[in-house]
Structure 1
Amino acid sequence: MKKTLILISLLLNIGGSLYAQILECGTKEQNEITQRQNPDALKKRNEFEIFTKKFVHDLRKNKNVKNNALATNYIIPVVFHIYGTTQSGKSVTYDKIVNALNAVNNDFNGLNDDFNSVEPFFQPRRATLNIQFRLAKIDPNGGNTTGVVFHTTKNGYGNGGGYDDQIAADAWDNKKYVNVYIQNDLYNQNIYNNSGVAWYPDINMTNRNTARIVFNGAYLLGNTDKEFSSTLTHEFGHFFNLIHTFEDGCTGTDQVDDTPKEDAKHALSCTPGTNCDGDKVNIENYMGYNGARGCYKMFTRGQVDRMIAAMQHEARITLWQNSNLLATGVYDNQLASIIAPLSLYKENINNNGTFSQINELSLTAGKTFSLSSGKLIQGTHYTLTNFPQGLNPIITINSNSKATLTLEGSAQNHQTNHNILASIQFLPAAFSGGTNNLISDKLNIKFEFIDPYGIFLAKGQPNWMATPSQTWLFFNTEKGDDTSYGFWLFETDKYKLETYGKRLICNPNTRNISRLTKGTEINGSSNFTAPGAYPNQLDIINPSYNDWRGQIGYIGYEYKIDGNTCYGYFKVEPVSGSEGYRITEYAYNTQPGAPIKAGEKDLQSLTSPSNLTSAINNNTIVLNWIDKNTTEDGFYLEKSTNGGTYQLIASLPPNTYTYSDKLINVGITYKYRISAYKGTEKSSYSNETIITAPSDYVDYCKVSAKNTYEYIKSIKLSSFTNTSGADYEGYGNYVSKTISLKSGEQVTTVLTPGFNPSASDEAWTIWIDYNDNKQFENSEIVLKTSLTNKEYTGTFSIPLTAKGTFRMRIIMRYNDISNIPCGYINDGEIEDYTVQIQEQNTTLETPYAYLNGGISKNGFYALWNKVPNASKYEVQLNTSGTWYTVGTSTSYYLYVAKPGSSTQFQFRVKALNSTGESNWSTPVNVTLPLSGPINTKESKFIIAPNPATDQVTFSIPESISNDSRIEIYNNLGQLVRITQQMENYSIQNLPRGTYQVKLISKEKVEDSKHLFLK
């Protein structure tokens, strides 16, 4: 996080003054941040770069690409999200969005008024893209929309991380709409002159609904000059995979062959000049910076070809399909629609369930209301769905094509959990000619409420500190438009609190954070100070500022909720026993503008443990409790015997929640209590728990052993493992550990002895007390071994009828194969466990098993389709009428060696996860070839599953695995995908049908197979 902090701060330092107009596009830097958070994104981007080069090559050669690829008229649905209708003193309106998008369309299509005045040298390179960006007319829920959504003021969506949840919550489906976010402060750093940022095609972002363009509303057409407003065209270019023409300066590349290099200094502006190689610079190119000074005019042919290739990317291809154009309402511009500028209603700041928005409705394409004045009547002209109780819409007709929508009353329930999407469904009687020719007869309104205001207290996490051993810690508070902070030891004896632009109370005319005393009021009159650009964040300690040195105090902070200013405080104290400082708690007032007093909601530093309980099990009292702290150093457990004085019996480590007391006697009453401690501080006690060991208590027989020379080192039963070592008196009571098994399960068992000093012969016996009569009987022996001086590996079966919780006993005896479960063992050890047996859960989908080559005289590849929620797959063989397990796999295949001398047999597969399993697949017959040389030409290129629906895995020979790629061609011979991703490759956005898949290594086709998508 420190690297991210420094990077963003440097960008802001470059950004210049607060009001200077400057093109500072952060696309490169923010895409790199996103890729660092998701390394798979960079890999996929590199793969698509290979695809793009080949696609463009074929496009120009007219080979394997249909002639209409260039002539295609792409239509792309767009939604604009507006965060504040005033940005840097400029208004952001629906009309300005319409005009701005029209200008983008003109730029892409060469209809800008200066297109024909491009420098003569570059006129032959000019190119246009037949594309129309259209504001969506149908929202994701089927209602009318303007394609422009007005939100409350918010900033920061230009950051490559930290805002993804908010972005996704506001987004419309990224596979259907290009989402453009209009914010004044792209990085939420109190810097208002950054122009825009966009992200290249990335299917992970599309799937998470975070693909986007973020643009400064102060630079929309109408708020700045025409040329600088074309920076929006610049960002749309990024969205369709165009790179800066000056990327990485004279040694970089934008991956386009007809855009000259640039030195990244942008000193030419609109004056023709040459680059570092002496070649002319394309100063008028939309993807550079020079043109923003007054001469943006063109894309090159190479850039247009690259954008056409981007249209094929799985994160962009769904946008322009006809089915999507119909779904978003942009296919036919002749249909009428209901224009409603407001689709999101936020509760008034007085928090009383009322709304004051006024929505001016209008009809398009000649559609008219059936009335020319008056009000529409519910039940006659419209119906309501999901409208909050207490709110009533009033639709006042102003003319036959215009109306005003207001809300009367107040919502009876108006907390955030009552947020709801409501709709007004217009009936035929509302319009002349009914609802015919309307793109939709519905208006959707999203109601957002505010929780009751209050002062809320939260506890800092244990690691919210900066020390010499932890010099940087990024953390988030639980409330606010921007919740990010960082604790920072910048240099020796220089502690800072990074706020990402948010203000803290500081001493006058300094960046030194004030140490507030308890009871100090934090309000709008406090001396709030914003941080400077890196490295001038706000200081807690520096060599000349010592107010905090060794002291506890409070920091007053300012934050925003929906753009409204609120106040809070952090409690800061020195780290015990070390240099450094930590935030132990914080509090905040959610009422905009309302004050808060430092420390008015202080937590007690330690909360007592709760819900202490006791239960007796095998002459052991097992205690459990709830740990209510995160910063304690440990616990003190105390015990009283028969009403006597409490005595400390154990000091336990932090985050403990259970303890077993073996020192008990029949008929004695015990009381227990527990407290938490931190240093010398101690919490109050928990509740008491009282338990008596009954005089007639019947328990399992006692055992002990001499384990001087041998002991149970570890056991593994199914997925359960316990490493114990030599236990006290040769008995390990591990009944607090539960081994989870299934009815009918073949339990894989690994029993490992420990020896001192040398190995000796041991015999193992395992009982499960299935009838729960406190006795281990011979009929309950589930595993018995002969003498061995090595680790034992084997299996035992759980009966299909077994279900419930039982006691298990494991005994290891030196040179003794007897079945005695009780008493003293001369040499060896005993361990007891709890076993929970559940019925088989067949909730997982049954996999489909099959063969697809990969068969030789020595074995074969078992294949199957992967099923949802499975974590692994078990494979069994049937060679002579009995099924047995040969292995498991987390993938879609398993190599199975030839079983003995058998050449004809069956295999089957079932899917498993931690809570369930599938039924067994239909058995597949296998016939291995007779003896003879292995067919070395046999294909080792496997595609599975095949047929497939959403993803496939490619299995390729190891000899070429480091230097290979996959190319996928459709049934027209067109290349549609290139990838080096071999496992779980997504094909969900490819049309259903048959494809040819080629395995390429060193530009040679190694193998090819057909892939069937269903």
Structure 2
Amino acid sequence: MKKALILISLLLSLEGSLFAQILECGTKEQNEITLRKNPNALKKRNEFEIFTKKFVENLHKNKSTNNKALATSYIIPVVFHIYGTTQSGKSVTYEKIVNALNAVNNDFNGLNDDFNSVEPFFQSRRATLNIQFRLAKIDPNGGNTTGVVFHSIKNGYGNGGGYDTQIAADAWDNKKYVNVYIQNDLYNQNIYNNSGVAWYPDLNMTNNNTARIVFNGAYLLGNTDKEFSSTLTHEFGHFFNLIHTFEDGCTGTDQVDDTPKEDAKHSLNCTPGTNCDGDKVNIENYMGYNGARGCYKMFTRGQVDRMIAAMQHEARISLWQNSNLLATGVYDNQLASISAPLSIYKENLSNNGSFTQTNELSLTGGKTFSLSSGKLIQGTHYTLTNFPQGLNPVITLINNSKATLTLEGLAQNHQISNNILASIKFLPAAFSGGINNLISDKLNIKFDFIDPYGIFLAKGQPNWMATPSQTWLFFSTEKGDDTSYGFWLFETDKYKLETYGKRLICNANTRNITRLTKGTEINSSSNFTAPGAYPNQLDVINPSYNDWRGQIGYIGYEYKIDGNICYGYFKVEPVSGSEGYRITEYAYNTQPGAPIKAGEKDQQVLLTSPSNLTSYINNNAVILNWNDKNTTEDGFYVEKSINGGTYQIIKTLVANTSTYTDNSISSGISYKYRVSAYKGSEKSGYSNETIIMAPNDYIDYCKANSTNTNEYIKTIKLGSFSNTSGADLDGYGNYTAKTISLKSGEQVSTLLTPGFTSSSLNESWTIWIDYNDNRQFENSEIVLKTALTNKEYAGSFSIPSTTKGTFRMRITMRYNDTSNTPCGNINNGEIEDYTVQIQEQSTTLQTPYAYLNGGISKNGFYALWDTVPNANSYEVQLNTSGTWYTVGTSTSYYLYILKPGSSTQFQFRVKALNSTAQSNWSNPVNVTLPLTGPINKEESKFIISPNPATDQVTFTLSENSSNDNWIEIYNNLGQLVRTTRPMENYSVQNLPRGLYEVKLISKEGIQESKRIFLK
């Protein structure tokens, strides 16, 4: 059972053998997933589709006016990210990337050697785009680059969700570079024959640095035949808004007028033929699949026009501007450069701060070194910036145009928190003729260190179990190139552990997972066994294997870090009071090849110290920033030392925080800060210290005081914050140590309670928030003002939607006075100051996409949604009469909802939750229940009922559907498992439990596709 049972957004139709070369482009499916996460993007896409049609119409209305657009020559900077230099046994090298990109350029410009052999029928429709994709020569930090970056092995960037943070971290600025990711397993499913996927222009993706092409390195030119390697051209076409020529079969469209329809079966290959309307199919078009069989040759005029329109898209237009071509080094190919294949240096596995990589430097463009032998000298020929202490570069000349760069010494600090971008800046003396005509005088090097090796213990989550009531649970470990697992009750009394190809220790010559006893050593000599293809995953229990029955034990597992084999264990226990088993904890050794003993506890702190703590003063406050190097911390402690005194904790922050503003400073005082992470009672080491002196012209907030003999501020409640104070000395209470947490755009409920020593008096309240941080409370910063009242005041005020940060709040309560003076003596009443922290709305979880998929009856319906990463439950609400209310929660991705009263028309929506975060509410879904009968037959061409199902399902066609239709059922691997006619009470008893894709097929192709969950 694959993770698509939980991450249903990964469903793709994968055809053929796992080892067969197939063109299976996931662009349509993955773009749809991306749109679900950002519904506004669909609106933007539709708007741009209207623009495209008008642009293309205008392009040809007056050719003399628009010749400039048609004749424009485009240059586009490209960077390739390589994740593994061997993919499916084929090498991925710089030279192959160069050749592959040259082939793409030839295809776009009609320079492919078979361009003139296009079928005569389509020769008049051929068109070319005057474009050059060029490897970047200047990196985002201004250094020389080859435009090819070699990373550690990684997969999964073809998914439309779940990897965005990693993608963005590796990306170069999407507004400057086309980012192409070369990975062997596009969807991280242990499937290595998907060719590629790309995303259409989308400003949100560009702004988030997730716009991309993802391509399988096994299919680069040189690793496969010339025609199939043109699938890379196919993906570049998608990137510039071309749609599959067969999109949605005979009833679909690629939004281009001169590409004939296709039936989406791709059965013609390279044999000329006709489509569903009897018209010829453009089998040689780069945006179809037929041509991959040996005849990719052309784009049409309409496709080229569409790409020219795409060049105007706000997510693509910056790429080809002259200013960007200069910034990325591709404007003038005649300039000299320093070519260095390696830009990332990975610490040796010895984990002692050493590096053994050799970088071969080459000068291009006729540039030469001033020497032809020996070594360049630091200070004479180059200078260093940010080089780790203990490391020194050695540049040894081979001749006057080639050299090697190696690193000598040991980095003194070499944890992951010490990762840094360093640079070598070459001086004029290094080159003949100085640095003239050199595109950049810098080489940037990213140092990638390894944390100290150790054995780490982690607790399993409470729901990490398989039982008759929870037959499947996908879970992830903390460490590894692939952290995916699944616990599974496959059939009655058959428990399995899905490892997605990773090996477990098993009994000899079986797939039965060995029950290890505490203290058993797990090492390279253990009997590790790989799982078979579905349904031959590894067994915990089956009717003939009972070692685990009712027993506690350990499972030995093998995993990889950067491609290096490491070992760990899972502890498995029976579920108390129920059939089933749970994983209660696991441990892993991060040292490649080093053993671990079953039941061995952690040997060192799990948390890494925060790094790169910096400080600066802005608007009379100290701003701290640091790098968070953990993913599992509960939060951070911020400590301060005043004038060299003892450190004191001044703030406890939540997890995933990397900044703090300290407003409590005074002029002429020296402050030191340090930060540490914590998890429960566990604490990391400290960050580096940062020291800062408050300036002598520091401005403090104005003083205020009052007589509070008869009245005082008793209690304030703002949102969830409450403080009861009583009468403060001199009528002023400094509560800035208390933080009121608010959200951007929030409507803050306010309850202000006065206290009186005798009779009630008329009081006026005023609240200021110093939004501009100038340490003055101004009239424009009044957020709440009341009239005179002798009672408790209840009201609210709004936080601007764009405001975030830490600010000072002042509250005044004045007797018989409605003036707005925040300073000095206010006579009678009281003043209190607080710290306000305004954060963006805590929608840290992705927003689920809600939908219906059949399962509707007169008594209720199944609400369905796409699950999102890191959520452990989902709240479902109904709207029956204009008001939303919660009807239930679910830990899965569906909830059956009974008909609410007499209503038959309403809406539902879903929100993802975990213990610390939540998502926005999903899209609202309209529901109409039938008055009678099992389903609403008007909703689609066919209905599946019930859904989810257990034993039997009914496939019902709408009245206007053809009787020639049939049903095809595909499992989560995209394999066809059943074919049937629409019928009632179709048995699914013998199908494994999980998610399936059901397609309604006619002779014209796929009519509709739905998903069904068998529980």
Give the TM-score, by structure 2 length.
0.61
In structure 2, the CA distance between the partners of 1:501 and 1:799, relative to structure 1 (3 Å rule), is: closer
Output the CA distance in 1 between the equivalents of 2:750 and 2:229. Answer: 70
User: Cα offset for 1:277?
Assistant: 2.3
Secondary structure of the 2:325 match is helix
**Which one of 765, 789, 797 corresponds to residue 797 of structure 1?**
765
1:577: how far off? 3.1
- Counterpart of 2:417 in structure 1 is 417
Partner in structure 1 of residue 332 of structure 2? 332
Cα deviations by residue, 1:369-411 (Å, 9 ceiling, x for unpaired): 1112221111111111111122221111122211111122221
Change (3 A) 1:865 1:415: closer
Match of 2:804 in 1: 869
2:167 is matched with which residue?
167
Q: Which of 1 and 2 has greater Rg?
A: 1
The equivalent residue for 1:843 is: 773
Instruction: Describe the shift of the 1:256–1:373 C-alpha distance in structure 2 as closer, same or farther (beyond 3 A).
Output: same
Does the residue aligned with 1:14 lie in a helix, a strand or coil?
coil
Relative to structure 2, which stretch is displaced further, 325-334 or 508-517?
508-517
The CA RMSD over aligned residues, in Å, is 3.9
Query: Which residue is 2:142 aligned to?
Result: 142
Question: In the TM superposition, what whole-angstrom CA distance separates every residue of 1:444-498 from its partner, at most 9, and x where no partner exists?
Answer: 1111111111111111222333445544443332211222333444555554433
For each residue in 1:789-811, what CA deviation from the matched residue of structure 2 results, as whole angstroms up to 9, or x when unmatched?
xxxxxx952699xxxxxxxxxxx
SS of alignment partner, residue 360 of structure 2: strand
SS in 2 for 1:915: strand
Correspondence 1:538-557 to 2 at 5 A: 538-542=538-542, 545-557=545-557
Q: Deviations over 1:69-125 (max 9, x none)?
A: 222211111011112222223222211111110110010111111111100111121
For residue 230 of structure 1, report the CA deviation from its aligned partner. Answer: 0.7
Structure 2 Cα separation of the partners of residues 571 and 221 of structure 1: 47
1:844–1:869 contact (8 Å) kept in structure 2: no
Number of corresponding residues = 675
Contact 1:162/1:484 (<8 A) preserved: no
**Alignment deviations for residues 195-239 of structure 1 (CA, whole Å, 9 cap, x no partner):** 222222222322222222121222211222111111111111111
Letter in 2 for 1:169: A
The answer to whether residue 197 in structure 2 is matched with residue 206 in structure 1 is: no
Match of 1:309 in 2: 309
Residue 157 of structure 1 is matched in structure 2 by 157
CA contact (8 A) 1:188 1:501 kept: no
Match of 2:17 in 1: 16
Quote the sequence identity (%): 82
Distance 2:278 2:333 in 1: 49
Structure 2 CA distance for aligned equivalents of residues 799 and 113 of structure 1: 75
Asked if structure 2 preserves the Cα contact closer than 8 Å seen for 1:195 and 1:231, the reply is yes
C-alpha contact 1:198 1:235 (8 A) present in aligned 2: yes
Match of 2:69, SS state, is: helix
Task: Quote the offset at 1:57 in angstroms.
Answer: 3.0
Residue in 2 that maps onto 1:777: 757
How far apart, CA to CA, are the structure 1 residues paired with 2:313 and 2:372? 49
Hey, what does 1:268 align to over in structure 2?
268
1:174-196 CA-partner distances (Å, limit 9, x unpaired)? 11111111122223333322222
**Larger RCO (CA under 8 A, 6+ residues apart):** 2
Are the equivalent residues in 2 in contact too, given 1:10–1:534 (CA < 8 A)? no
Q: Which of 915, 922, 926 is the aligned partner of 2:837? A: 915
Which residues of structure 1 form unaligned runs of 5+?
A: 604-629, 631-682, 684-714, 723-737, 752-765, 769-775, 785-794, 801-838, 850-861, 875-880, 885-911, 918-1014
1:868-907 alignment, distance < 5 Å: 868-869=803-804
Alpha carbons of structure 1 residues 841 and 298: separation in structure 2 relative to 1, 3 Å: closer
Q: 1:380 to 1:403 in 2, by over 3 A?
A: same
SS in 1 for 2:475: strand
Partner of residue 449, structure 1: 449
Read off the aligned partner of 1:592 and give its amino acid letter.
P
Give the superposition deviation at 1:426: 0.6
Q: Where does residue 486 of structure 1 map in the other structure?
A: 486
Residue equivalent to 2:668: none
Q: Deviations over 1:586-624 (max 9, x none)?
A: 101111122222212289xxxxxxxxxxxxxxxxxxxxx
Tell me the amino acid that sits aligned with residue 436 of structure 2.
N
Q: Is the contact between residue 189 and residue 502 of structure 1 (CA under 8 Å) also seen in structure 2? A: no
Give runs of aligned pairs for residues 102-141 of structure 1, distance below 5 A. 102-141=102-141
- The equivalent residue for 2:284 is 284
Q: How does 1:715-794 map to 2 (within 5 A)?
A: 717-720=717-720, 767-768=754-755, 777-778=757-758, 781=760
Distance of 2:354 and 2:139 partners within structure 1? 25
Query: d(CA) in 1 for partners of 2:311 and 2:493?
Result: 53
CA gap 1:177/1:916 in 2 versus in 1, 3 angstroms: closer
Distance (whole Å) between structure 1 residues aligned to residue 65 and residue 716 of structure 2: 58
Equivalent in the alignment of 2:629: none
Distance in 2 of aligned mates of 1:509 and 1:59:
68
Please give the alpha-carbon distance, in whole angstroms, between the structure 1 residues aligned to 2:290 and 2:594.
47
Distance 2:315 2:453 in 1: 41
Could you give the per-residue CA deviations for residues 978-1013 of structure 1, whole angstroms, max 9, x where no partner exists?
A: xxxxxxxxxxxxxxxxxxxxxxxxxxxxxxxxxxxx
Preserved CA contact (<8 Å) 2:764 2:818: no
Q: Does the residue aligned with 2:444 lie in a helix, a strand or coil? A: strand
Aligned equivalent of 2:57: 57
Q: Which amino acid aligns with 1:216?
A: N
Report the AA paired with residue 201 of structure 1: P
2:69 maps to a residue whose letter is A
**1:238 equivalent in alignment to 2:168:** no
The match for 2:929 is: none
Deviations 1:747-768 (A, max 9, x none): 97679xxxxxxxxxxxxxx543
Deviation at residue 416 of structure 1 after TM alignment: 1.1
How far apart are 1:717 and its partner, in Å? 4.5
- Residue 778 of structure 1: SS of its match in structure 2? coil
Cα distance, 1:865 vs. partner? 9.1
Counting only pairs closer than 5 Å after superposition, residues 864-1013 of structure 1 correspond to structure 2 as: 867-869=802-804, 915=837
Residues 854-899 of structure 1: CA deviation (Å, up to 9, x unaligned)? xxxxxxxx99996443999x9xxxxxx9899xxxxxxxxxxxxxxx
Q: Deviations over 1:122-179 (max 9, x none)?
A: 1121111111100000001100001011122222322333332222222111111111
Partner residue in 2 for 1:600: 600
Q: 1:62 to 1:507 in 2, by over 3 A?
A: farther
Contact 2:551 2:573 in 1 (8 A): yes
Listed as ranges, the matches of 1:615-764 within 5 Å are 717-720=717-720
Contact 2:571 2:585 in 1 (8 A): yes
**Alpha-carbon distance change, 542 to 5 in structure 1, aligned in 2, over 3 angstroms:** farther
Aligned to 2:975: none
1:524–1:54 distance in 2 versus 1, CA, 3 Å:
farther
Which residue of 2 is the match for residue 970 of structure 1? none
Shift of 1:525: 3.4
Counterpart amino acid of 1:366? G
**AA at the equivalent of 1:52:** T
2:462 is paired with a residue whose SS is: coil
Distance in 2 of aligned mates of 1:470 and 1:767: 54
Q: Which residue of 1 aligns with 2:581?
A: 581
Change over 3 Å in CA distance of 1:396–1:739 after alignment to 2 = closer
The worse-fitting range, judged by mean Cα deviation, of 102-111 and 365-374 is 365-374
Give the match for residue 377 of structure 1.
Answer: 377
Aligned twin of 2:791: none
Q: How far, CA to CA, are the matches of 1:741 and 1:347 in structure 2?
A: 42
Tell me how far apart the structure 2 counterparts of residues 521 and 162 of structure 1 sit (CA, whole Å).
35
Q: Which runs of 5+ in 2 are unaligned?
A: 604-631, 633-680, 682-714, 723-737, 782-796, 810-816, 821-833, 840-1015
1:31 pairs with 2:31: yes
Cα distance change of structure 1 residues 310 and 524 upon mapping to structure 2, 3 Å threshold? farther
Following the alignment from structure 1 to structure 2, what is the Cα–Cα distance between the partners of residues 916 and 379? Answer: 48
Q: For the residues of structure 2 that align with 1:126 and 1:320, how far apart are their CA atoms?
A: 24
Q: Secondary structure at the match of 1:583?
A: strand
